[in-house]
A and B are shown apart, each in its own frame.
Chain A
Amino acid sequence: MQPGDRVRVERADVTNEGVLMPSSTSDHLVVKLDGGYNVGIDREAADVEVLESGVHEVDEGGANEPGEVSEISFDEELPTISLISTGGTIASTVDYRTGAVTARFDAEDVLRAVPDLAGRANYRGRVVANILSENMDPSIWTDLAEAVREEVEAGADGVVVMHGTDTMQYSASALSFMLDTPVPIVFTGSQRSADRPSSDNVMNAVCAVEAAKADCAEVLVCMHATESDDRCALHRGTRVRKNHTSRRDAFETVGGKPLGEVDYAAASDADPSDGEPASGVSFRREHAERGEAELSIAPDLAADVELVKFTPGMDPAAWDYLDGTDGVVIEGTGLGHVHTDLIPRIEELVESGTTVAMTSQCLAGRVCDRVYDTGRDLLDAGVVEAGDTLPGTAKVKLMWALANVENPADAMGRDLAGELTEESQPWR
């Protein structure tokens, strides 16, 4: 008896026929009845007869291996957009017989999953990883940056990175530091999985492709701007944060309005033959223009960097493990503070050669350690202020700075990729 077999199950006065499913517990057989319902039946109490073996193939895998590149039919009039997948569910499909959700990825698979993308561009498809985004690893950021460089070199006019939403902001930050790009690199994903008709994947993908065609050369995150399917926001990769666990509009630009947006109605009605480079895309503020920068890459990272959060009541011993690390980013309170008792600990770290940067758990606003005694003591201990850089972005930046710039401590106080504003002007 195997999943996929057609079975007859007798249990007390009820007889059921259907297809045996991979069961979730050892106590129950799960049978898909002809009406479509699954039902769990006590294994011990049931009498099972296999009517036919292997009626349905129960496919539990089938995703592409990393490294494959695929391309589909080419139209010279259209720009070429590279679709890079790191996993996530934007292009997953569901098998109705088994209910299994399979993440598939080559360009054709994406077009099959999101037919609305067809005709907007020539697509190149590529898989860099096939992981859940919480399992994202800095080494994959490096692979991703390399892949983007290769795609741009191969002629992509824009890159769309399909990424799980949990750690999208970290990957977007990493690419912002690693790459000088002449074309847009647009991250997108979905908050509601692609196996449901209401998934946000279609609108996010359509808007991301339009953004990747736009006259812009930034690393962007393109996700729902509101709970409605009306427009996507374009966030700068180093200023964006996932601020809600489940809503479609979870992503926000901290401290201001997003850099731009894509109007879905305009994007979906786009007629690629009208000569418009991108449909529905508008920008609110100054941004790097297409073609300005030479393509270059600095993909090295120092792995040994920790982001630590100070909270009241913390045992200073909790920071003992930081000994010997290359870099530490502290998420302090308010203007950038920790308990006075922790200052000697920080002093030790700095003296032993660790770069210690301060950010704030307020998220919005600039750290300033010159206002209160604690702050001044922190500065005396050798802490560098990361301005208004977001804590997560600061961690990625410090990893990159330690591997790529001469004076990382100094770099933490300067803007490298739009992560730090020089002046505290309210963003409009």
Chain B
Amino acid sequence: MSDYDYEELGLVAGLEIHQQLDTATKLFCDSPTMQREPEAADRELTRYLHPTKSELGELDQAAVEESRVDREFTYLAYDTTCLVEEDDEPPRRVDEEALSVALQIADLMDLTVVDQAHVMRKLVIDGSNTSGFQRTMLVGQHGEISTSEGPVSVVDLMLEEESAQRVEETDEGVVYSLDRLGVPLVEIGTGPDIRSPAQAKEAAERIGMLLRSTGSVKRGLGTIRQDVNVSIAEGARVEVKGVQDLQGIEDIVRGEVRRQAELVEIRDELQARDAAVGDVQEVTEVFADTDSGVIRGALDSGGKVTAVPLSGFDGLVGREIQEDRRLGTELSDHAKRHGAGGIFHTDELPAYGVTAAEVADLREAVGAGEGDAVAIVAADPETADLAIEAAADRAESAVVGVPEETRGANEDGTTRYLRPLPGAARMYPETDVPPVEPDSSDVETPELLDEKAERYVADFGLDEGLAEQVAFGHRFPLFEEAVEAGVDPTFAAATLESTTTELRRDGVPVENLTDEQFLGLFALVEDGDLAKEGVNEVLTVLAENPGMSAEAAVEEAGLAGVSEEAVREAVVEVVERNAEQVEAEGMGAFSGLMGEAMGALRGKADGEVVSAVLREEIGKRS
């Protein structure tokens, strides 16, 4: 990939970051914010949403495309959700803990907190909110974060409720889980001040660090979501949704710049060639006897083939604009939105079972000459018509340039078309919740994680790597509590970070370990009741036995610690004492001797090990 001069291209990017807060209760009710497995649901309800005509009249294109009439939404409810999530009880007041975390975040990003925050209802009709809207409030404005390439403005900070998690799509509609609905979420939007992919990553990193510094944000998959807005001077604003990680942000910006730059070049070429998109037509006849699996399949189930001639497009439809993605892929994405499997185009044909003769017939059928391309769709009649129109529309905009749109992030750093850009959100006041006047005066500015890491080095003598690991990890409050209690800092840090990482790699469920268990373990080591060498083993037992105390785990580990040698020694002794019986009965003596051997080991050893060793020893002697 060629490296672009981002300044020359006029790269402008901004971020929108959504982060779940780790509060005790949800934003508008007293349900806990814990995640549940769908299997744990104890109730189900089904609902429909009815945006009225006046609402739809004002709805933007994206929302209309998202909503399909008569979709049935099924909601899974748990013993940790209540009537508020079910939209069967009015919301409570804004959760104070969530608001205070939001104020901390505002403070860290130099945002001015509003005098009075008004809870709004943002219309969302895809079923992800039982009410048909998301409650959201503007908390802060006009902030800034710093990056090595200059400051990036933070336009606003919103505190809002998280949507319900989509569980599955059925023929009738969608199944959602109510556990996530209502979890407090902050949304942070930066200004369009980012000028390079590296700066985008740095800004996201900085925001992430500031968020985690509060110690009150959720960690783990799906708890932070990053969207990136990217445009180049001759391109267009494109919103990329759902970038998974920080490295991803840099790749996405890089990839999107490349896509837009390539599309601009294609546009120039198309315009130079006087390119145009012709009329859509049916070309089923051309493929009447085709051996192409895809087309054959569509035709055999009553489908048809539609085509659009792309005059002047020859060679450009197949031109790569991102890793393994071509202009043809863009046409295909649009066709897919309307239910087709994709498109074929002449830049890639003959292939997929389509013969050179068929390509020639196709060109002739639609009047495509040299320098022209043709795109086709094979599907059921309705889909074939809609999909080829969508592809034709996309080809048309290629002549104009880069279309504005919402795209989804792919894992390889490329993006795919999702939907048109959303219009201004439809919002109206949430009359059930009174406005709040946030009081920032007693907000404590938390220590930043990078400052924390430096302090751990200076005060506790941790080496830099370990200090950073602890400070940026989610167990730093526990670390500080342990050090406060007199535990050796390096030992505590190493246990909490290196040891747990090591155990996780060995498949130990370390996520089960509780603060109490760690503190109990540290106390035992400090008091000399447990050698440091035994820590791994005890942690393993604790992780596998949620709720067990450190003391009990030490005992348990001690029991499990009878080595095979010790077992063999005990077994050999038993076998030798009963040599006559072994000789006479062979394996017949097994069950009698097994009891004796277990007795000799006083139940300390694993029965399976004892049994295996005993069989072996009897075998040797009979």
Contact = CB atoms under 8 A, between A and B. Distances in A.
Nearest to B131: A198
Nearest to A245: B89
A227 B437 contact: no
A37 B88 contact: no
B48 to A, nearest CB: 5
Chain A CB within 10 Å — which of B114, B158, B426 has the most?
Answer: B114
A146 B117 CA distance: 48
Given A37-B120, A40-B118, A247 B138 contact: no
A30 B240 CA distance: 33
B115 A42 contact: yes
Contacts of B131: 192, 196-198
Contacts of B193: none
Interface stretch (A11-19, A52-60, A255-263, A306-314): A11-19
A309 B572 CA distance: 86
B83 A247 contact: yes
Given A33-B138, A192-B87, A197 B133 contact: yes
A424 B238 CA distance: 70
A41 B117 CA distance: 9
Nearest to A203: B48
B52 interface: yes
A16 B156 CA distance: 12
A247 B115 contact: no
A24 B435 contact: yes
B54 A40 contact: no
Interface of B: 44-55, 58, 83, 86-90, 112, 114-118, 120-123, 125, 130-133, 136-138, 141-142, 156, 158, 424-429, 431, 435, 437
A270 interface: no
A38 B410 CA distance: 35
A42 B112 CA distance: 13
A229 interface: yes
Contacts, number: 133
Nearest to B72: A229
Contacts of A41: 114-116
B51 A227 contact: no
A41 B113 CA distance: 10
B112 A40 contact: no
A132 interface: no
A230 B48 CA distance: 10
Chain B CB within 10 Å — which of A45, A191, A198, A247 has the most?
Answer: A198
Interface stretch (A109-117, A177-185, A326-334, A398-406): A109-117
Contacts of A36: 120, 122, 424-427
Interface in A117-172: none
Interface in A3-35: 11-14, 16, 24-25, 28, 30, 33-35
A228 interface: yes
Contact of B112 (A13, A229, A247): A13
B497 to A, nearest CB: 41
A35 B424 contact: yes
A37 B137 contact: yes
B50 A197 contact: yes
Chain B CB within 10 Å — which of A37, A99, A194 has the most?
Answer: A37
A400 B162 CA distance: 52
8 shortest interchain CB distances as A-B pairs: A40-B116, A197-B132, A36-B427, A38-B118, A99-B429, A99-B428, A197-B49, A37-B138
A41 B115 CA distance: 5
A248 B424 contact: no
A94 interface: yes
A195 B123 CA distance: 11
B83 A40 contact: no
A11 B132 contact: no
A28 B53 CA distance: 34
Contact of A39 (B47, B49, B118, B136): B118
Contacts of B54: 93-94, 112
Nearest to B130: A198
A230 B74 CA distance: 11
A202 interface: yes
Contact of B427 (A16, A96, A116): A96
A247 B114 contact: no
A199 interface: yes
